[in-house]
Amino acid sequence: MENQAIKVPSELDKVRPCRTGVILGAGLSGTVLAPTLARRSIETHLRGLECAVIDSINLLHKNIKDLKGLPLPQEVVNVKDMKTGLGKADSALVMMPSRSAQAISRQVDEIVGPDFPSAVCAKGIEEEAGMFMRQVVEEELKGRPVGVASGPIFARETVLDYPTAATVAFPPQPQDRLVPSETARVRLPVTLSTGSFRAYGSGSVIGVEIDGAVKKMIAIAWGMVSGTGYAENSRAAFIRRGLDEMKLLSEALVGRRKTGTGLSGVDDLSLTCSNPTSRNMSLGFRLGQGLLRVACFGGKPIVVEGEMNTNSVTDIANCLAVPMQICQAVDSILRSGVGIGETFAALWSRPSEAEPRAIQISFDSPATPVDFQQLSERIL
């Protein structure tokens, strides 16, 4: 009792979790978070389109396509009709891929009220317009609160109710100070939080979005090097320097640099670069082993978000003159067909900077061209 913390009552004690939540997208990511809502006794509607998946969730309480064998709570219902899914909902988690986001968001706009909050969980940047997924959704939902959710989450562990943490970020609004317990960036984290799932609120939306897009490219880069046989020393270097690229781009886009040190940044990056079940690392690993892209994943048309983000991330970095050498290396390999060995040997031969960057020191590598030629050949 001596050191027991004393809980001081506050306005946040009155936070109301959402009563009914809809998850737009019944793929792997959507199905993963549905049990989390259901464990809060929240009526949970998955809005999917594939009849086989809808039937398997509603009749068997399993997603036979993406999470074979893992049981889902009976409170999780998959609905095909948008009005049915959104009818009683007072929040939404947006999980659909970028190619569907605009059309689906337009349908949501016609159904929900003016204060309806949505958290975009799909990570990445829409290629044609260079917009973050949140911006695509926000453009259609016309003034309604739209935020993002991200963090180090692997599907199987979350469905099995292993302890997991994530960040839910919404842009701060002037009215937030009046009744903080009614704001989306408080209510949505409370809604998602269970005995095993901890959701943290944030106001750094851009920082969380940058983290989610860049970490996928760093995971591809590390997968390539890992596929050639390199191990833990190299992985640590890629995570550390990849984190620096996250922070630099976030800062350039008026995000918060320190967001990179949180759950959506270094934590998610470390997880993605540590497990070959990540699609991004898995793609890089197969390419590093010498497979052609068409032969990766057994020739199946598997969508890899980091690969889709490559053009957008590097184009934004180039426009802002932000040095992102690892991401540029991935872009050179995936978009321009440059060899993995020569690309990473060139990456390793760059001048070294001081750490932190505030110390203005730079020096050329003392290694010779022969050294880097040998490194290139070893990577191959």
Residues noted as catalytic = 215
Exposed/middle/buried for residue 314 (C-beta within 10 Å: 0-12, 13-18, 19+): buried
Copy the structure tokens of residue 11.
Answer: 């306005």
Q: Is 271 helix (H, G, I), strand (E, B) or coil?
A: helix
E-strand stretches of the chain: 20-24, 43-47, 76-79, 91-94, 118-120, 125-126, 131-132, 146-150, 164-169, 197-202, 352-353, 362-363
**What amino acid is encoded at 132 in this protein?**
F
* Identity of residue 128: E
**Using CB atoms within 10 A of its CB, is residue 336 exposed (0-12), middle (13-18) or buried (19+)?**
exposed
Give the count of beta carbons closer than 10 Å to the beta carbon of residue 68.
9
Whole-angstrom distance, CA of residue 97 vs CA of residue 7: 42
35, 14 in Cβ contact below 8 A? Answer: no
Please choose, from the candidates 54, 36, 297, the residue with its C-alpha nearest in 3D space to the C-alpha of residue 161: 36
